[in-house]
A and B are shown apart, each in its own frame.
Chain A
Amino acid sequence: QSALTQPASVSGSRGQSITISCTGTSSDVGGYNYVSWYQQHPGKAPKLMIYEVSNRPSGVSNRFSGSKSGNTASLTISGLQAEDEADYYCNSYTSSSTYVFGTGTQVTVL
């Protein structure tokens, strides 16, 4: 199972919006609404930000939103803040009953 494809890096100024893409195939992202997103700060464990494509867990800022079109899922961060600077990973369930992570995206706040 190949990793889902994400851009290596995305940057934006404080207050701006950015979008991170996560491209898979019809056997993973495109086949199920089982895409989740994780934020990881250096040296820390990942934190769940979005589940089932567009649902936000309790306690996660509403500046984070998710969507999906075909084989590509997206995470949008609006009103970018300094604390949003981190690595972000998508994850999808697959047709093999396994899971796969994305290649990861480093977000920089300018």
Chain B
Amino acid sequence: QVQLVQSGAEEKKPGASVKVSCKASGYTFTSYAMHWVRQAPGQRLEWMGWINAGNGNTKYSEKFQDRVTIIRDTSASTAYMELSSLTTEDTAVYYCARNWVGSSWYDYWGQGTLVTVSS
């Protein structure tokens, strides 16, 4: 069965970086893309970017373009999202979500990773 298992909660200071992992199982990792979506407390879902797990191509939201990096390790079937220069406004739950390359929807989601930014 398809599973996306994310790394645990993180607490960071303003100005630091955070790296969240998303380990995939139950399917051919390189046949799909992985998107990253975040949700601040009580707020809407916000699309951050995605990576084609097959060829490593990425595309980022203009909002996060300068601060986000998404990579993948095909040998570990794992995608990573790193966000730098954190501020308190980056406090949110970060989700990874699978998307078949060539489709436009997310059929499986990770459980979410809470990132708290506080001084």
Q: Do A and B bind each other?
A: yes
**Given A45-B95, A46-B45, A103-B44 in contact, is the A52-B62 Cβ separation under 8 Å?**
no
Most buried by B among A34, A57, A91: A91
| Size category of the binding interface on chain A | 20 to 34
Cβ of B14 within 8 Å of any chain A Cβ, yes or no, is no
* B110 proximity list for chain A (CB < 8 A): 45
Output the least CB separation between B34 and chain A (Å): 13
Closest chain A residue to B43, Cβ basis: A104
* A101 proximity list for chain B (CB < 8 A): 37, 44-47
* A97 proximity list for chain B (CB < 8 A): 59
**Chain A residues within 8 Å of B, Cβ to Cβ:** 1, 3, 32, 34, 36, 38, 40, 45-48, 51-52, 57, 89, 91, 93, 96-104
**Chain B residues within 8 Å of A, Cβ to Cβ:** 35, 37, 44-47, 49-50, 59-63, 95, 97, 103-107, 109-112
